Amino acid sequence: MQKTLLFVDRISTWVGHAFSFLIVGLTLLITWEVFSRYALDNPHDWAFDIMNMLYGTFFMMAGAYTLAKNGHVRGDVLYSFFRPRTQATLDLLLFVVFFIPGVFALTYAGYYYAADSWAINEHSGTTADGPPIYPFKTVIPVAGAFLLVQGIVEIIRCVICIRQGAWSSREEDVEEVDVDKLKEMVHVTEVDLQVLDASAAKGTAK
């Protein structure tokens, strides 16, 4: 079972990593459009629509990845003090009552939403010759499906935690910098940091 859970985690991670490169494309597009608009006096009517589509695709396709890394926003002021079994019970309740119905509705409705867009060859109405929207709307059910599968995995994790009293492992990925661990790696102590702070303060005073 654990191998299956980690396999789904790896798929969600791969999808998240793959679509993260849209940020590079979005950055280049914004840079070029600003240069073209202000330096060349040649703005493009379609640029704003494409920017929205790129960011929207990135945002939606990162949903399953974020869930796999337990990175979605949570009001954990009290949650972090609960025992794993209590955390899992609360999570399971929220997944069943809110998450699964909501994401299923998103995927189901998104499929017909995208199908209608393909059927009418929908284009953006912002300009007279706007870019096609149907590829972007197709992302909605696709992202919903990935998120739904990852949600089922999280439900299974909750059940395992309730039975065993501990959370099962997750697929490892890039983490935020652990300052204490970084200090150990470079052999820096608090005394060293205090000396550096004092030296910087003296330099500033001069």
Residues 112-169 have pLDDT tens digits of 999 999 999 999 887 777 889 999 999 999 999 999 999 999 999 999 999 998 888 7
Contact assessment for residue 144 and residue 107, using Cβ atoms and an 8 Å cutoff: yes
Q: Which residues contact 173 (CB under 8 A, 6 or more apart)?
A: 13, 69
Is 54 buried (19+), middle (13-18) or exposed (0-12) by CB count in 10 A? buried
Give the residue from 26, 36, 16, 19 showing the smallest Cα distance to 174: 16
Beta carbons of 168 and 157 less than 8 angstroms apart: yes
Is there a contact between 12 and 62 (Cβ–Cβ < 8 Å)?
no
Quick: pLDDT tens for 11-38: 999 999 999 999 999 999 999 999 999 9
- pTM, full prediction: 0.78
